[in-house]
Amino acid sequence: MKHLTILVPDGKNNLSSIIGAYQLWMKANEYWKQKGKQTLYKIELAGISENIEFNDGLFTVKPHTNIINLKETDLIIIPSLDHNYENTISNNEPLIQWLSDQYQKGSEIASICTGAFLLAASGLLNGKSCSTHWIVADSFRNMFPEINLQADKLITDENGLYTNGGAYSFLNLMLYLIEKKYDRETAIYCAKVFQIEVDRQSQSSFLIFKGQKQHTDEVVKAAQTYIEDNLQEKISAEQLSYRFAVGRRQFDRRFIKATGNTPLEYLQRVKIESAKRTFESSNKSINEVMYEVGYSDVKSFREVFRKITGMSPLEYKNRYNKTAVV
């Protein structure tokens, strides 16, 4: 029998990701047995303390075992954390070292949402791709610049390390792993029991783009402000570099270093974010919104919108517009 470890780190974590992961894998085991097969995984909660409190003491979790008792395990799941990442990392140094040791022994590791911060602190993600909740993307990049953060991705899978986007999208990561470790039939069964939409690949439609401004490059900040204040204008990267008296190549390098986006990507994201908000709250047509954010060609607007959100402008409007929902 293989072994699955769901971690319960010290500190404030999100209980839902622990319970949800546990229930899904227990259901997968149950269905596996119903098909006449032996239980595939022994599932245990493990931590470094006997009891961990959640929601200001409203709930308490008592892990099955301490990590020191687990010499080897096949798959480790790191739950979502609260937003005090530095404290959580400092409070869980033995657990972080244990993660590194287990990976060297052949364990696979999956992080849920902001659990990526704990996995990143182990150094195992250095030079690799990773996802986490879009709302903490800037903080993650600042803390771990050596990791290739892909905040639009719902799931990443690289060398036995798995990460996923935010909040309850961890259910999709669990289904992904269940299909990988059991089979497609078992994953579909679990999806139907828990009523989870299968095969989601992106969290792009949920992303609210605010722009990375936690940097000290005043020229780039001025360029960002100019872009955001002139949505209806057709602005090029050449115009921006000329306006702020910086050579084009140097301007691009500084912009990417400061924001994580090229000037063109930033332009597109700001415009599409404005279009999304308009679609959500008004009855304006696709063309009206397109013109408001500086596009004159509907094909180009549609292509950029789909690239950033994963759906067409009409699909987005039909899904999120308050009138359409009613």
What integer pLDDT is reported at residue 102 of this predicted model? 97
Tell me if residue 197 falls in helix, strand or coil: coil
What integer pLDDT is reported at residue 204 of this predicted model? 62
Query: How many helices and strands in the chain, by DSSP H and E?
Result: 15, 11
Tell me if residue 233 falls in helix, strand or coil: coil
CA distance 198 to 154: 12
CB 76 within 8 A of CB 109: yes
163: which residues sit within 8 A by CB, 6+ positions away? Answer: 110, 111, 116, 119, 125, 130, 131, 132, 155, 156
**Per CATH, domain 2-205 is 3.40.50.880:** yes
Whether the per-residue pLDDT at 239 is higher than 80: the answer is yes
What integer pLDDT is reported at residue 222 of this predicted model? 93
Fold agreement between 2-205 and 218-325: no
CB 157 within 8 A of CB 130: no
Tens digit of each residue's pLDDT (9 = 90 or more) over 112-148? 999 999 999 999 999 999 999 988 988 898 899 999 9
Tens digit of each residue's pLDDT (9 = 90 or more) over 88-108? 899 999 999 999 999 999 999
What integer pLDDT is reported at residue 62 of this predicted model? 93
- Report the CATH fold assignment for 218-325: Arc Repressor Mutant, subunit A (1.10.10)
What integer pLDDT is reported at residue 205 of this predicted model? 59
Q: Give the domain ranges of the chain.
A: 2-205, 218-325
Tens digit of each residue's pLDDT (9 = 90 or more) over 248-281? 999 999 999 888 889 999 999 899 989 988 898 8
